């Protein structure tokens, strides 16, 4: 496997009983790259991320994150990776400050460093005014910003994003996209999983499209669009995942309502 890649999988295969969820998936993410990882629900995106985090140690093929094997070195990977999930699972009885201090201590960070980084992140994300609020009192968007802050506290060089825009308003989405761009520009490797095709198209260096656990297409947006003779990533996605019948399905639904 490549020494340069921050994330690399080869022949990655995962089964749940007789169900094949991932089928010989291969890709790599180098420092400074943002790899868009897209596919329909159930295509295997979140399963891939859970494998990379060491949460699903039973799989076939090879995976490396920062040079470590998720089967044997899950703790070392967690020390080096920042992870943002779609749903912010936080300690709701704690205040924002208490939660971030707890996360920082888990990473072995000095309290003063945690406070400094947390304050800067929260200020940039326009949520510093809620630092003493209990997490249970926050909106979904604010919780997502706290989750992003927690993922960045230890200054990880590898970032795994699984629908990170969930619950964010338009202004916050613009801000988070710029944060992701600058994190990659600073040399960090980013795996960015999302259903929002225009975000992936504009943000990501390359794109991998999954369909039923297999890679249906991968490359830069320009390469994918040229290969399919299509103008947007949404069009390419619909083509390679078999979703081109959306207009017919929508017409059938509307017609059913008229009968």
Specify the CATH number for 7-88+158-258; select among 3.20.20.10, 3.40.50.300, 3.90.1150.150, 3.30.1360.120.
Answer: 3.40.50.300
- Other CB atoms within 10 Å distance of the CB of residue 175: 16
Q: What is the pLDDT of residue 88?
A: 73
Domain spans in the chain, listed from the N-terminal domain onward:
7-88+158-258
The span from the CA of 46 to the CA of 174, in Å, is: 24
Q: What is the pLDDT of residue 231?
A: 66
Q: With contact defined as beta carbons under 8 Å apart, do 49 and 160 qualify?
A: yes
Residue 129 per-residue DSSP state = G
Does the pTM of the predicted model rise above 0.75? yes
pLDDT by residue for the chain (259 residues), tens digit each? 555 889 999 999 999 988 999 999 999 999 999 999 998 888 899 999 999 999 998 999 999 999 999 999 999 999 999 999 888 789 999 999 999 999 999 999 999 999 999 999 999 999 999 999 999 999 999 999 999 999 999 999 999 999 888 888 888 888 999 999 999 999 999 999 988 888 888 899 999 999 999 999 888 888 887 776 666 777 777 777 766 566 677 777 788 887 6
Question: Whole-angstrom distance between the N-terminal and C-terminal Cα of the chain?
Answer: 59
Q: What is the pLDDT of residue 49?
A: 95
Q: What is the pLDDT of residue 135?
A: 94
């Amino acid at each position: 496997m490549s020494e340069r890649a921050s994330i690399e999988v080869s022949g990655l295969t995962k089964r749940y009983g007789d169900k094949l969820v991932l089928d010989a998936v291969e890709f790599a993410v180098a420092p400074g790259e943002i790899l868009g990882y897209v596919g329909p629900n159930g295509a295997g995106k979140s399963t891939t991320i859970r494998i990379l985090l060491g949460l699903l140690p039973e799989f076939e093929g090879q995976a490396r994150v920062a040079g470590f094997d998720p089967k044997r070195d899950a703790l070392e990977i967690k020390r080096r990776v920042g992870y943002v999930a779609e749903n912010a699972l936080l300690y709701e009885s704690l205040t924002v400050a208490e939660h971030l201090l707890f996360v920082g201590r888990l990473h072995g960070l000095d309290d003063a460093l945690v406070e400094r980084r947390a304050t800067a992140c929260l200020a940039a994300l326009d949520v510093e005014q809620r630092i003493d609020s209990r997490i249970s009192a926050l909106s979904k968007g604010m919780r997502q910003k706290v989750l992003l802050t927690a993922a960045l506290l230890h200054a990880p060089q590898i970032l795994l994003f699984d629908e990170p825009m969930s619950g964010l308003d338009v202004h916050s989405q613009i801000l988070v996209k710029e944060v992701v761009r600058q994190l990659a520009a600073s040399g960090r490797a980013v795996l960015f999983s999302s259903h929002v095709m225009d975000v992936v198209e504009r943000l990501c260096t390359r794109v991998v499209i999954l369909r039923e656990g297999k890679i249906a297409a991968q490359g830069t947006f320009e390469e994918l669009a040229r290969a399919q003779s299509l103008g947007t990533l949404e069009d390419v996605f619909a083509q390679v995942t078999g979703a081109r019948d959306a207009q017919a399905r929508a017409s059938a639904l509307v017609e059913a309502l008229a009968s």
